[in-house]
Amino acid sequence: MKLWGGRFTKPTNELVDEYTASISFDQKLAQYDIQGSLAHVEMLSKCGIIPAGDADTIKNGLKVVAKKIANGEAELSEENEDIHMNVEKLLIEEVGAVGGKLHTGRSRNDQVALDMRLYLRDTIVTMVDLLVKLQEALLGQAKMNLDTILPGYTHLQRAQPVLFAHHMMAYVSMFERDIERLQDSFKRVNRSPLGAGALAGTTFPIDRQYVAEQLHFDGVVENSLDAVSDRDFVVEFLSNASLIIMHLSRLSEELVQWSSAEFNFIELDDAFCTGSSMMPQKKNPDVAELVRGKTGRVFGHLIGMLTTLKGLPIAYNKDMQEDKEGMFDTADTLKGALALFAPMIQTMEVKKENMYQAVAKDFSNATDLADYLVNKEMPFREAHAVVGQTVLYAIEQGKFLLDLNIEEFKQFSSLIEEDIYQVLAPETVVNARDVVGGTAKNRVEEQIQSAENRWSEN
Ligand code: ARG
């Protein structure tokens, strides 16, 4: 008989059992569910709602059930629908009818919201740890590449040279914001919904605050209707995860490009690449590609959750059972990606010479020729036109700016002197960007230093 079977005269249609059950996926919450039940039963006894002896029996029983589930010894059934009722059934099997006192003053509605919050708390902590490791790998590459110059691109056209360290630090900044967002969301996740009951609270003299404290929450979700209806903390997690994987995906795209023969800027370690079943020469950046690909499912889960919630009246509706698979899949996808990315970045070989050659053979110093003229009091717009014509001339001659002799330069402006060759050299061009956050070596060192200072404060 179903735990809720009292008012029914017929067994549930098998297809309905199959269709409405969530046990196949919410068993992931088993340990959190039991953790919550232990705190709840402790509170029931402390408040005199059930006798202390019964509470002890239930607690011991719950611990046995927890072990059995962890060892795969417990039978979880679709007939018992979800993890909450499966645990309660197992408890009653373990300790007898007294196990039926566990659910006093509680509903699966506040219980499932609690389990989700406990799960996300752990997930957020794990993700922050993994993000920090990735930042360390990026920062390590930055430190090793303070003299590595590569073309910076806009529109994927060579634009201005930058330090590879600067490029790495851009990602460190992105992941820093991602960490901040996760940490900020933690305070909204870290509130206990327990005690909201099905929707309106409960007639028993429970102590919500006590349960919250035992489970190390910062407090309770105050309004009982909100406590059981709210899944915005899930949406927020999915949104934060979407931003993280969007950042990872952009980095992936760069790794894929850079490791192609066309760029040949980096080589990913063999341990992080895979081969082709047909073409013996292939070494493919599959991890980066797959992370880029998995971005789709994470964005999909965010839109899916928002869409599920958008038309729901307060309070709990069965639709909300759809909150779990996307959340689990997102967490697993992100954890998998982050765990791989840190060592993949750490072991990547940076081909400094190839990057430098790319900078030497382009027009990414053209802005500096214009700035040179501006320093000699030519209006920038005029300088822009002069340099545009110089570049056009060089292209027609099959040359780059540094290949032009001084007479050729002087055809375009008499203001250009011999010192131009020094001004247009890649190192000078990079180090000329000596503004806060610019790509000059000393400014990139500053960024590294301030990142390290922030980390040592935390
Ligand atoms: N399995 C359900 C879910 O995940 C638990 C809550 C069920 N509550 C209810 N009143 N049917 O949403």
pLDDT tens across 371-386, in order? 999 999 999 999 999 9
Whether the bond between 315 and the residue before it is cis, its omega within 30 degrees of 0, is: yes
Domain shared by 314 and 176, yes or no: yes
CATH of the domain at 42: 1.10.275.10
Predicted pLDDT at 3 = 86
Predicted pLDDT at 12 = 93
CA 282 to chain centroid, in Å, comes to 30
What separation in Å is there between the alpha carbon of 112 and the centre of ligand 1? 7
Residues flanking ligand 1, CB < 6 Å: 22, 26, 82, 84, 108-109, 112, 316, 318, 320-321
Domain shared by 98 and 145, yes or no: no
What separation in Å is there between the alpha carbon of 194 and the centre of ligand 1? 14
Which residue's CA lies nearest to atom 7 of ligand 1? 108
Looking at the domain assignment, is residue 227 inside a domain? yes
Q: Which helix (H) or strand (E) holds 92?
A: helix 83-95
Domain shared by 317 and 291, yes or no: yes
Predicted pLDDT at 93 = 97
Asked whether the predicted pLDDT for residue 185 surpasses 80, the reply is: yes
| Band of residue 165 on the pLDDT scale cut at 50, 70, 90 | very high
CA 71 to chain centroid, in Å, comes to 30
Residue ranges making up the domain that contains 57: 5-104
Q: Strand pairing of 157-163 and 149-154?
A: antiparallel
What separation in Å is there between the alpha carbon of 108 and the centre of ligand 1? 6
Transcribe 194-235 into DSSP letters.
TT-TTTT--SS---HHHHHHHTT-SSB--SHHHHHH--HHHH
Residues 89-109 as b/e (b if ≥16 CB within 10 A, e otherwise) read: bbbbebbeebbebbbebbbbb
Asked whether the predicted pLDDT for residue 1 surpasses 90, the reply is: no
Domain shared by 81 and 140, yes or no: no
Which of 103, 317, 321, 324 maximizes ligand 1 atoms within 8 Å of its Cβ, making it the mutation to test the pocket? 321
Predicted pLDDT at 248 = 98
Looking at the domain assignment, is residue 366 inside a domain? yes
Which residue's CA lies nearest to atom 3 of ligand 1? 321
| Band of residue 11 on the pLDDT scale cut at 50, 70, 90 | very high
| Band of residue 340 on the pLDDT scale cut at 50, 70, 90 | very high
Looking at the domain assignment, is residue 155 inside a domain? no
Looking at the domain assignment, is residue 433 inside a domain? yes
Maximum CA extent, the chain? 101
Nearest to 49 by CA among 40, 57, 61: 40
CATH of the domain at 395: 1.10.40.30
**Model confidence pLDDT, tens digit, residues 401-431:** 999 999 999 999 999 999 999 999 999 999 9
Rounded mean pLDDT of the chain?
Answer: 97
Rounded to two decimals, the ipTM of the complex is: 0.96
The residue among 304, 336, 355 that closes a domain is 355
CA gap 138, 162 in Å, rounded: 16
The residues pairing with 161 across neighbouring beta strands, listed in sequence order, are: 151
**Model confidence pLDDT, tens digit, residues 433-450:** 999 999 999 999 999 999
Which of 27, 76, 109, 325 maximizes ligand 1 atoms within 8 Å of its Cβ, making it the mutation to test the pocket? 109
Looking at the domain assignment, is residue 457 inside a domain? no
List of residues 6+ apart from 397 with CB closer than 8 A:
403, 404
Looking at the domain assignment, is residue 67 inside a domain? yes
Domain shared by 17 and 74, yes or no: yes
Domain shared by 131 and 230, yes or no: yes
Which residue's CA lies nearest to atom 1 of ligand 1? 82
The residues pairing with 220 across neighbouring beta strands, listed in sequence order, are: 192
Please give the tally of structural domains in the chain. Answer: 3
To the nearest whole percent, how much of the chain has pLDDT over 70? 100
Predicted pLDDT at 458 = 73
Predicted pLDDT at 2 = 87
- Residue positions annotated with a catalytic role: 155, 276
Asked whether the predicted pLDDT for residue 212 surpasses 90, the reply is: yes
Residues 413-448 as b/e (b if ≥16 CB within 10 A, e otherwise) read: bebbeeebeebbbbeebbbbbeeeebbbbebbeebb
Domain shared by 138 and 226, yes or no: yes
Looking at the domain assignment, is residue 458 inside a domain? no
Domain shared by 85 and 65, yes or no: yes
Domain shared by 339 and 382, yes or no: no
Q: Kindly report the length of the chain.
A: 458
**Residue found by looking up tokens 């940490």 in the block:** 183
| Band of residue 285 on the pLDDT scale cut at 50, 70, 90 | very high
CATH of the domain at 115: 1.20.200.10
Domain shared by 293 and 381, yes or no: no
Looking at the domain assignment, is residue 445 inside a domain? yes
CA gap 241, 238 in Å, rounded: 5
Domain shared by 167 and 98, yes or no: no
**Residue found by looking up tokens 């993280």 in the block:** 244
Here the contacts of 10-15 (C-beta below 8 Å, separation 24 or greater) are none
Domain shared by 205 and 223, yes or no: yes
- Which 3-state string (H, E, C) describes 367-425? HHHHHHHHHCCCCHHHHHHHHHHHHHHHHHHCCCHHHCCHHHHHHHCCCCCCCHHHHCC
